[in-house]
Each structure stands twice: as C-alpha cells, then as structure tokens.
Structure 1
Amino acid sequence: MGLDLYVGPLTRYHLNDWLTITQQIGAQDGFTVRVIRAQEDEEPETDPDVVQAAVRDWQQWLGEALGGPVDWSESASQPYWTDKPDWDGFGAVLLLAAYDEHPDLQPSPWDKPDSPREFAGAPAYQAASAQPERYLTLLSGVEWWLPLAADPLVIEASRPTGQPTRMGSVDRLAAELRLLAERTGLLAGYDPAELRRGLSTGDPTVEDLARFGLAVMLDLAETAIEHRQPLLLDY
C-alpha cells in the first residue's frame, strides 16, 4: 500500500476526480493505474452538487464544534496538487522528528537503523508520540491538515463520509516541517525542487529518505497555505 499526499477541495477528493502521481505517469505512458485504498466507499456518490453540499454541511458542523469559521473554498472544478513521499519518505520524516524529541533513542551508527515503513515500532517514535512537544501534529497520528482560522492543535473528528480521523491545522504542519528542517539541517545546501524529483542513491539512509520526504511535504504544505486548501494523507 502506497502513500500519496493530496492538496485541494474535499469535494473533488470525495468524487475521486483526481489522479495520483503514479496514475498521471501511467496516463502519459498509455496505461491505466488502479488505486485501491484502505478506506473506500463501495458505492461512492458521483453527483458533484450532492458532494459539495455534504462538504459544506460538514464545514458548518466542524466550525460549530470548534467555535470558529471553517469556510475554505470548495467546488469540484478547483485545481488540486499531489505528490508521493510514500511510506519511506513520510516515515523517515516522522523518525527524524522523533529523534529530535528523544535523541537518546536514536540508533547509533553501529546499530541497526529503524525502518521508516515501520516507524510506529521505533522506540524514539513510541516515546515521542506519547507526549510530543515540538512536532505535535507530525507525531500524533494526524492524517488531515485543514486551513483553519484558529489552531485547534489536534482534534478527533469525523470526515464528511463518517470515518473518525485525527486532524490539525495546515499552518501548524508547515511550521513543524520548517522547524524540523532548521533543527536538523536536512535541506541545507540542497535544492528542494531537485530533492522532490526522487532519490539518487539505490541504498538510501533514513536521513536521505527524510530529506526527500521533507522536501515533498513542505512544498505541499506551503501550497495548501497559499491556496487555503486541505492537505490529506491518501493510502
């Protein structure tokens, strides 16, 4: 199961009217890539007006629950942005954040490195996620980051389709990613656009994977802030 990031209107996302990077490459090369998601409606709604109305109702409900406006622009015709850090890049970013919280639990150069795809089992992640300090949304299992007027820290709320999901502010996510880049120096001396094209080594370290994942995530977080749109994990 792969991991993509999506930035754009929830209306378009729930209509499945978007293509992952892999699907876009497949379309360019003349073949179809089918994505099977962990949570997928058996009979999804296909009427854009119905879906947009449901998202609008959900925004109103969430705003009432948070005590503030939740009213970013929504329609099925708005643009979207996407990229693929996959679990290696995403998990490596979470591991580096966990190491920054608990440097004493980072494996030494002589130890077996933690696996980014199995980041949840790493001692540093387990300790940091129990009580995160610097990287609250990165280390708390957040999967949706929203363009909110006020920062709710981390909330547990139902999606428009009903699945309970941890959510946070996209502004906080961007701030955490920038802080991680500053404290670790991961992006220093590198061209982020070049990093987002992919890894150049066949045997990447956790730091290599985190550098790639951080470049991808920070670019999309800043895009979400610029256009005031949600950023979602898609898998």
Structure 2
Amino acid sequence: MGLDIYAGTLTQYYSHNWKNKVQQIAEANGKKCVMTDGLGNEIKPVEDNAEIMEIRAIICQWAEKLAAGLEQIGEPMPHPLWDEINERDYFTDKPDWMAFGALLMFLACHMQNYPLPEYVENRWCAFDDPIVKKGKSKASDVSLLSDVTLWLPIPNESIFVTNLPNGDETHVSTLLLLKQELEELNSQTWKADESTILSWRDDKYYIPVNRKESKPLLGFLFRKKQGDKYRTEELAQCAFSILYQAVNFAIEQKVPLLLDY
C-alpha cells in the first residue's frame, strides 16, 4: 500500500470524508478514482449524518479517555483535547514510502554520523535497512524513528503506545515533538528557509535519475521499474517539505496528523 499524510479531524478521517492526492488529481483531470481496502472493497464516504455523529462521539470518548490517562502520569490536559467538528479543512499529500523512507534514512545517518547513500532503488524498504534499524534502536525519544503513526495536538512532547479508536494498537506522539524534530534536523543540516523548504515539494524527485526524460503527472503515478534509482537526499527533502507543511497546518488548526496506508 502507498503512504499518504493526513492532517484533520479524526471524524472526517474515519468517515472517509476526505480525498487523498491521487483522488484529487484524478478528479481534476475528469477521471474517477476508486479507493479500496485490503480486501478490494470500495471505500465510500459516510453520508448519513447520524452515522457521522456516532463516529464523532466515539472519537470524542476515545480522546477523553486518552486525556484522563495522560493526566494520571503527567501534566493536566485540556478538555476536550481538540475540537472534532466534522466540517473543517484538512491537509493531505503523498510522500509515499520511498520518500518517507529516504527521510528516515537521512535522519538515521545524521544521528549516527554515517554517510548518506547517494541513491535508493525502487522497492527499497527503509525499515529493512541496517542503518535505519540501528537508528531506531538508539532513538527511542524521536517520533520519526519510533514507529509513530499519529501525532496529536496536545501540550507535551511524549511518545506512548495506545489503541486507536478502531482498536488498532500504535505508537502515538505529539505535534510539538514532530515540529521540534523537523526544526532540529533542518538547523543541523540544510539550514533552509521556509521558501526553500516549500520548493522541495517537487514531483521531479520521484522521477528515476536513470530516466530523467520522463515527465509523469506526479511522481507517485509514475510506473516504476526494477532497477530504477532515486537521489536519497532529494526524496528526503521532498518528504520533509510535506511533513513540514502538514505539522504547521495541524498545529494552526489544532487537529491530529497521521500516516494513512
């Protein structure tokens, strides 16, 4: 499965009332894009308002329970932790696993003073890479290297394990910690200003260096071939730009940010 970044209310997310980048591009070009689950069933948005409100109630109960649990082991939490109004703007983009993995590789190499591999190949998996694995084992306080899939708008910088509203167990962190990680990585390496960071969100980085003559409509729609290779740092910068925009949106709107796959 591919990887999308989503920042918005969980009600909107779990009721499927949002469209990822592929859907948005397809519709802008007059094409229908059908999303399916792991069993091949079409994922349709929930339209019944009563059902949406039921989903919202479940999310709010889950968040309230989470707040109570966090208060028992730390500082007081706001109630509610955030507003779950369904009709709100959201942010989404698609780094896919290739770019997100390159960012993890860049971070792991930086933290361990390892040279960054110049290229990664198609179907390379960062989670199987020895450098990333070693980085993950040494960076238990870094959310990007701790298998975190959800960052919440709560006033601390922690990482913990909990069950999501759908019952799945996952690692959870906070927007403040993710923003801090991104700012520190940039200040210690690229030292890029905001306009430069935003310019890194460029689909040219998804075009294999051995086939630069191709001009796909967004890199993640490009048909990759075995042996294709990509510049690691350029992919890492592209994923960094996406996360930078997502976490700033989420902090401003006071909504969760999550990995969708």
In the superposition, the TM-score normalised over structure 1's length comes to 0.87
What is the Cα deviation at residue 188 of structure 1? 6.2
Indicate conservation of the 8 Å contact 2:16/2:43, yes or no.
no
Distance 1:55 1:186 in 2: 39
Matched, 1:147 2:153: yes
* 1:116 shift after superposition: 8.1
Structure 1 position 76, deviation (Å): 1.5
Counterparts of 2:181 and 2:37 in 1: how far apart (Å)?
A: 27
Aligned to 2:172: 167
CA distance, structure 2, for counterparts of residue 87 and residue 18 of structure 1: 21
Q: Give 4+ residue runs of structure 1 displaced > 6 Å after superposition.
A: 39-45
* Equivalenced residues, count: 230
How far apart are the structure 1 equivalents of 2:116 and 2:59? 44
Q: What is the rounded CA distance, in whole Å, between the counterparts of 2:252 and 2:116 in structure 1?
A: 37
On the 8 A contact 1:142/1:168 being kept in 2, the answer is: yes
Deviations 1:6-53 (A, max 9, x none): 000000000000000110011111212122345999999941110111
What pairs up with 1:73-92 in 2 under 5 angstroms? 73-92=83-102
Name the SS for the 2:171 alignment partner.
Answer: strand
Structure 1 runs not aligned, ≥5 long:
none
Q: Secondary structure at the match of 2:18?
A: coil
Partner Cα distance (1:165, 1:141) in 2:
8
Q: Identify the residue that residue 255 of structure 2 maps to in structure 1.
A: 229
Q: Superposed, which structure 2 residues align to 1:13-24 within 5 Å?
A: 13-24=13-24
Supply the AA of the counterpart residue of 1:162.
G
Q: Secondary structure at the match of 1:175?
A: helix
Unaligned ranges ≥5, structure 2? 72-76, 210-229
Helix, strand or coil at the partner of 1:32: coil
Moved more, 172-181 or 113-122: 113-122
Give the residue type in structure 1 aligned to 2:143: T
Contact 1:157-1:165 within 8 A present in 2 as well: yes
- SS of 1:73 mapped into structure 2: coil
Distance change (3 Å), C-alpha of 1:115 and 1:208: same
The equivalent residue for 1:205 is: 231
- TM-aligned CA distance change 1:150 to 1:13, over 3 Å: same
| 1:176 corresponds to | 181
Task: Compute the RMSD of aligned alpha carbons.
Answer: 2.7
Identity %, equivalent residues: 27
Structure 1 residues 139, 234: closer, same or farther in 2, change over 3 A? same
Paired residues for 1:1-235 under 5 Å: 1-37=1-37, 46=46, 47-67=51-71, 68-69=77-78, 71-104=81-114, 106=115, 117-132=124-139, 136-151=142-157, 153-185=158-190, 187=192, 191-199=196-204, 202-203=208-209, 204-235=230-261
Matched residues in 1 for 2:125 and 2:4: separation? 17
SS in 2 for 1:150: coil
Secondary structure, aligned partner of 1:199: helix
CA contact (8 A) 2:35 2:42 kept: no
Compared with structure 1, are the counterparts of its residues 44 and 62 closer, same or farther at alpha carbon in structure 2 (3 Å cutoff)?
Answer: farther
Counterparts of 2:194 and 2:245, CA distance in 1: 17
**Cα offset for 1:232?**
0.5
Distance 1:113 1:103, change over 3 A: farther
Q: Distance in 2 between matches of 1:89 and 1:74?
A: 30
Query: What is the TM-score of this pair, normalised by structure 2?
Result: 0.79
Bigger Rg over Cα: 2
Change (3 A) 1:41 1:131: farther
